[in-house]
Structure 1
Amino acid sequence: MLSEPIRFTPVQLYENEREDLIKLAHEQYKTLFRNVRFAQANGFATQVRAFARTTRATVCAETRIHATIPELVDVFLGDRTNAAIGFAQSQQIYRFLAPTDEHPYRSCGMRWSLWHSPSTLIRQRDIVYLEYMDTFVDERGRRGWARMTQSLEHRSCPPLMGSHNVVRAFLHCCGTVYTETDDPKVLEAVTYYDADTQGVPPWMTKIVANRKAKNPHNLEHLIRHERGSKFGLEEAFELQRRRKLNRICVHCVDDFLARTNRQLELTLPSSVSFQSDDVSTPGSLSGRFMSIDSVEVSTIGSTTRSSRAERNLTSSYSSTAGSESDKLVGSDRDRKPLQKTRSRYAMSDGASTTTVVDLSYLRNV
């Protein structure tokens, strides 16, 4: 077991080497589809084929997963690549093609990967390979996405047998083809795996091949986990946003009610009297309605201030017009105290009680 991760330092590519590697990867990408058709036609999907007196094994497995093509690309081209491809360690040595606006699902590069041995008696294996990923449309008009891998030798990734006791394996042209189905959230996955583990017994090679054939199911589990984490974060943000919005709205309503009540007290004429049995006056700052007793106390306070203002106004008029002042004082003495305030909803219902407005003081203006 390696204690520290293995890292390689890429060397500078030769002239036209990048273009040649991209061309080779694209040709092997097209070969992958021919290999898949050949394996399906010869029944490779039913069992692992291990070749006699060799350590090469081939398997072609078909399954369906609940995922979409954008979700696949996010996992393979994101920070969860190692978990998606099913290796213990992995490093992208070169990226020859990066996703663009025109081809957002296309990528090409060279990668090194290491997988742990299924037995402590067998040394670990690593591979250096080209990888090519892109979308396609099959003969039935269905859209899909495929990832191809093909081993190669390169000076940027020398063998690790002498330094880390790791055996270099070899991947023939293989990969996984994902095709859309009638269900937009379900993909048909065909995994074609063809590898030579270089010295591992055939029975052990079959174990490795079967594990690689299960990669789509592991990928589905990873996508489901990523999807759940994403939705969990979105729900938490939405809940926090609603709490903040509700808190702001409560304060706004309280402030509005307070300013509205004060504005009514300042602008309502003191001589206006409303009589009604239906009281629905907004009161407390919590956004609720005041009780009948609270309304009566508030009304009595406003009546006292109104009466005091009327008496001051009467005494000022009495110094210039005696007779008119006497009438004003008499009308003020006979006037009924201010009643409970009616809401605008009660006034619009057409109640039988009419509004009484005393305009006698305008005679001296």
Structure 2
Amino acid sequence: MMPSTPKSGGTREPIRFTPVQLYENEREDLIKLAHEQYKELFKNVRFAQANGFATKVSAFARTTRATVCAETKIHATIPELVDVFLGDRTNAAIGFAQSQQIYRFLAPTAEHPYRSCGMRWSLWHSPSKLIRQRDIVYLEYMDTFVDERGRRGWARMTQSIEHRSCPPLMGSHNVVRAFLHCCGTVYTETDEPSVLEAVTYYDADTQGVPPWMTKIVANRKAKNPHNLEHLIRLEHVMKEGMDPDSNFQEKHLNAKLCAGSNRAERSLTSSYSSTTGSDSSQPQVIEEAIKKELATRVDASDRDRQPLQKTRSRHAMSAGTPTTVHLSYLDNV
């Protein structure tokens, strides 16, 4: 079977791929590979924490690969995370200019409502006309877990893969294919209600982008949890003013929610795909959308609540000081 051909009707139209039929047992093999890499994500995170990589971007000499492991806390719950990632706001959550799920190998079920596995293509725009756009094709695996402390969590893993359904776009669209090593974000519940600890491990090779820019991209991707937090807060604000006894108001607010979310998603995706500008610009995009849509309905206590501060890893040590990382709980992941 011939590989699919990406379609684009114009410079502003999104690129679309047509998935080809999978070979016999290919689905099962890809699910197995994705689950193995999902477990590998935890090992990468723990190794980075244990060896002091949690406070800086590490670049590889004479390459365009960069790695960062960043920790923070966000106001959110696991169901809220899943609702964003598995709903219609995926692009805003993952921070790419364009994205398409090519295959869904596992969909959420009643037994595993937070589990999903698939293959995705994503594109991020270049901040300079001198640098080509980059795209990636990758497996993604999302599921809950229980760590060694007995705390529940949810993680999303991404790992680049070559597949005939997503041929390179260099010849047709002048887009360079980048490579994601096993990376992702691990969210773990804390003692505070509706507060999650988020650890993002990002490891990418941008294939030719200058190392300094690769570092900027890595740092921006490490801020993904905070952008997600503001996206969740936007939806909360939209829903807080709803009167359950008024069908008209409900329809009106639902329409505003869709419009506001779409505008915020476009703004967030655009700013997030860029590697220039202020580090605090992405949360401001969502904050501005909140003020424009329902400024008078924002609860005062919510406005006055102080954001949680970024925390350094408790396990961080000086670089070059390896330590043993216990991962026995992964047997149950």
Q: How high is the TM-score relative to the length of structure 2?
A: 0.70
Between the aligned partners of 2:69 and 2:11, the Cα distance in structure 1 is 31
Q: Does 1:66 align with 2:54?
A: no
SS at match of 1:221: helix
1:176 aligns to 2:185 (yes or no): yes
CA distance in 1, matches of 2:125, 2:69: 22
The residue type paired with residue 238 of structure 1 is D
Matched, 1:238 2:241: no
Q: Distance in 1 between matches of 2:239 and 2:174?
A: 41
Aligned partner of residue 61 in structure 2, secondary structure: coil
2:125 paired residue among 116, 120, 141: 116
Partner-residue secondary structure (3-state), 1:203: helix
How big is the shift at 1:117?
1.4
Within-5 A mapping of 1:241-260: none
Q: Distance in 2 between matches of 1:159 and 1:56?
A: 19
Aligned to 2:299: none
Deviation at 1:3, TM superposition (A): 1.7
The alignment's TM-score, normalised by the length of structure 1, stands at 0.64
Unpaired runs of 5+ in structure 1?
A: 243-365
Percent identical pairs in the alignment equals 89
- Which residue in 2 is equivalent to 1:87? 96
Q: How far is the alpha carbon of 1:139 from its aligned partner?
A: 0.1
Distance, in Å, in 1 between the alignment partners of 2:247 and 2:81 is: 30
Matched with 2:138 is: 129
State the partner residue of 2:216.
207
Q: Secondary structure at the match of 2:245?
A: helix
Partners of 2:236 and 2:11 in 1: how far apart? 32
Q: Does 1:45 align with 2:54?
A: yes
Aligned to 2:21: 12
- How does 1:23-34 map onto structure 2 within 5 Å? 23-34=32-43
Taking the aligned partners of 2:112 and 2:31, their CA distance within structure 1 comes to 15
Answer yes or no: is 1:35 the counterpart of 2:44: yes
- 1:211-290 aligned at under 5 Å gives the runs 211-232=220-241, 235-238=242-245
* Structure with larger Rg: 1
Deviations 1:337-356 (A, max 9, x none): xxxxxxxxxxxxxxxxxxxx
Give secondary structure in 1 for the equivalent of 2:209: coil
Alignment length, in residue pairs?
A: 240
2:166 paired residue among 143, 157, 167:
157
Residue 118 (structure 1) shift: 2.5
Counterpart AA for 1:135: T
Report which structure shows greater RCO (CA 8 Å, sep ≥6): 2
Deviation, 1:238, is 3.5
Residue of structure 1 in register with 2:4 after alignment = none
Shift of 1:210: 0.7
In 1, Cα distance between equivalents of 2:18 and 2:113: 28
Per-residue deviation, residues 145-171 of structure 1 (Å, max 9, x unmatched): 000000000000000001111000000
- 1:239 & 1:24 partners in 2: Cα distance? 49
Partner residue in 2 for 1:193:
202
Cα distance in 2 for residues equivalent to 1:155 and 1:206: 30
RMSD, aligned CA: 1.5
Asked if residue 21 in structure 1 is aligned to residue 30 in structure 2, the reply is yes
Aligned-residue offset at 1:237: 3.2
Structure 2 partner of 1:288: none
| Alpha-carbon distance, 1:241 to partner | 9.3
- 1:240, 1:84 → 2: CA distance? 30
Q: CA deviation at 1:239?
A: 5.4
1:231 Cα deviation from its structure 2 partner = 2.3
